[in-house]
């Protein structure tokens, strides 16, 4: 689809008038090193309060189109890393590309950020929905206003030009179950965690993992309901404490949000069960490093969110330029050098990375 090139001139004035004040307010949320406060179990968390606490760089960049990446939430390592990829894209092109988001793990807060970006007159949105169905209406409004929409971690979304995925979710979920089964000796009770029960990718992972377990590891048993953690390590910690009490024979837990294994691992460590309970899940090395080193976390898997952020922006630019997107295309980003197109979903060719205590020092993010 070819976007109207004449819209960029009128949008530039709108972005200058509306986004710059938004950006100046955002700069105050960073610490002396330019990074948001750490979100770790046991640490005091400030009440994000509402849309006024939205954070991100938000500063005008190049003279090209304005592409804004809106993550699920800000202030966690996963999306801090994604922002590095957005910055990398901005520095290598003439795009005015930056990240803007809310510090709240809340779908309504994300919608408010998206509405603000539409009011600012952006050319494209790269969105990681906290809850895909909650953003359908505002993204539909964006598309009706000729704004390019790229999503990530939302393969079933309707109102997007493309959804970008690093790999097929079923394969990733089954791989996580293999990691969990190996640690559990292929037997015993286990629990499943997701950031949100409405998170399409998290639910795809745990659904595929559970189905695969039932077929492949019959001596393992999922117990309880799927646990929702709101992408918060403190909540994961509290939920894991509850699991250890309710199921004293539990032998494993699989996390989905990047903060799940951190909280679950702390609860397991405090209970003195690090040699008994296997903890695996998606995370980033710097968040999980301490747990991996002391043995309360057994393994993490991930794809590089910086590459995903850069690839979303590159894909948005292709659509803005009226380019066709086809299987085999190279987005110019590691892991997305030979994409596969399936309907409205673009899959990268990047294999996930598995990190344990043995190789965690090879990564620094």
Q: Looking at the structure, do residues 37 and 89 belong to the same domain, yes or no? A: yes
Same domain, 23 and 129: yes
61 phi and psi, to 5 degrees?
-115, -115
- Whether residue 262 lies inside any domain: the answer is yes
Which residue's entry shows tokens 């639910």? Answer: 203
Q: Provide the pLDDT for residue 61.
A: 61
For strands 299-302 and 353-355, give the pairing.
Answer: antiparallel
- Domain check: are 298 and 309 in the same one? no
Q: Minimum mean pLDDT among 55-59, 76-80, 165-169, 325-329: which range?
A: 55-59
Same structural domain, 51 and 162: yes
CA angle at 82 for the pair 356 and 331, rounded to the nearest 5°: 100
pLDDT bin (cut points 50, 70, 90) of residue 51 is: very low
pLDDT (0 to 100) of residue 28: 32
Residues 245 and 161 in one domain: no
CB count in 10 Å sphere of residue 328: 9
Q: What is the DSSP letter of 247?
A: -
- Confidence grade of residue 36 (pLDDT, cut at 50, 70, 90): very low
Whether 28 is covered by a domain: the verdict is yes
The residue from 302, 335, 360 where one domain ends is: 302
The 10s digit of each residue's pLDDT in 55-102 is 444 444 678 999 999 999 999 999 999 999 999 999 999 999 999 999
**Structural domain includes residue 99:** yes
Rg (CA), the chain: 20
Identify whether residues 54 and 92 lie together within a single domain.
yes
Q: What angle do CA 335, 209, 192 make, to 5 degrees?
A: 110
Element (H, E) at 126: strand 124-127
Domain containing 145: what range? 7-167+304-351
Is the domain of 33 the same as that of 117?
Answer: yes
Q: If you count them, how many residues does the chain have?
A: 365
Helix axes 77-92, 285-294, angle to 10 degrees: 140
Residue 363 is assigned to a structural domain of this protein: no
Clarify whether residues 176 and 158 are in a common domain: no
Inside any domain, residue 2: no
> Would residue 309 count as lying in a domain?
yes
Q: For residues 224 and 246, is the Cβ–Cβ distance under 8 A? A: yes
In the chain, pLDDT over 70 holds for what percent of residues? 83
How many structural domains comprise the chain? 2
pLDDT digits (tens, 9 = 90+) for 299-313: 999 999 999 999 999
Count Cβ atoms below 10 Å from residue 91 Cβ, excluding itself: 11
Are residues 30 and 152 located together in one domain of the fold?
A: yes
pLDDT recorded at residue 143: 98
Question: Given this model, what pLDDT does residue 33 score?
Answer: 32
Kindly give the residue spans of alpha helices, DSSP state H, lying in the chain: 7-27, 77-92, 107-120, 132-144, 169-184, 200-216, 233-246, 260-270, 285-294, 305-320
358, part of any domain: no
Mean pLDDT of 21-30: 31
Task: Indicate the average pLDDT of the chain.
Answer: 86
Residue 137 is predicted with a pLDDT of: 98
CATH number of the domain bearing residue 216: 3.40.50.2300
Q: How many CB atoms lie within 10 A of CB 364?
A: 8
Residue 44 pLDDT greater than 90, yes or no = no
Compute CA 306 distance to the chain's CA centroid, rounded to the nearest angstrom. Answer: 10
Specify if 365 maps to a domain.
no
In percent, the amount of the chain with pLDDT more than 90 equals 81
d(CA 303, CA 348): 11
Q: What is the pLDDT of residues 201-225, one digit of tens each?
A: 999 999 999 999 999 999 999 999 9
- Confidence bin at 349 (pLDDT 50/70/90): confident
């Amino acid at each position: 689809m070819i976007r109207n090139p004449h819209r960029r001139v009128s949008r530039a004035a709108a972005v200058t008038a509306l986004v710059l004040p938004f950006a100046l307010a955002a700069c105050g949320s960073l610490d002396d090193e330019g990074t948001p406060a750490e979100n770790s179990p046991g640490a005091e968390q400030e009440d994000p309060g509402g849309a006024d606490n939205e954070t991100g760089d938000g500063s005008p960049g190049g003279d090209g189109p304005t592409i804004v990446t809106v993550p699920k939430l800000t202030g966690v390592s996963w999306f801090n890393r994604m922002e590095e990829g957005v910055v990398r894209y901005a520095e290598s092109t003439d795009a005015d590309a930056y990240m803007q988001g809310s510090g709240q793990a809340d779908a309504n807060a994300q919608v408010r950020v998206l509405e603000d970006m539409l009011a600012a007159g952006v050319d494209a949105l790269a969105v990681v929905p906290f809850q895909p169905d909650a953003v359908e209406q505002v993204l539909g409004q964006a598309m009706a206003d000729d704004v390019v929409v790229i999503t990530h971690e939302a393969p079933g979304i309707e109102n997007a030009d493309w959804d970008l995925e690093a790999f097929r979710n079923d394969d990733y979920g089954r791989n996580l179950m293999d990691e969990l089964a190996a640690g559990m000796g292929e037997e015993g009770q286990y629990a499943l965690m997701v950031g949100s029960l409405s998170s399409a990718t998290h639910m795809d992972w745990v659904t595929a993992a559970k189905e695969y377990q039932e077929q492949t590891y019959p001596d393992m048993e999922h117990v309880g309901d799927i646990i929702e953690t709101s992408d918060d390590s403190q909540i994961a910690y509290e939920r894991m404490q509850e699991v250890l009490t309710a199921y004293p024979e539990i032998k494993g837990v699989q996390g989905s949000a990047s903060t799940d294994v951190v909280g679950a691992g702390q609860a397991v460590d405090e209970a003195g069960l690090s040699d008994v309970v296997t903890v695996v899940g998606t995370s980033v090395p710097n968040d999980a490093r301490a747990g991996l080193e002391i043995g309360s976390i057994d393994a993490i898997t991930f794809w590089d969110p910086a590459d995903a952020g850069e690839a979303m922006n590159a894909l948005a630019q292709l659509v803005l330029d009226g380019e066709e997107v086809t299987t085999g295309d190279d987005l110019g980003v590691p892991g997305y050098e030979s994409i596969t197109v399936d309907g409205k979903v673009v899959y990268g060719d990047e294999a996930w990375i598995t990190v344990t205590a043995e190789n965690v020092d090879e990564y620094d993010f």
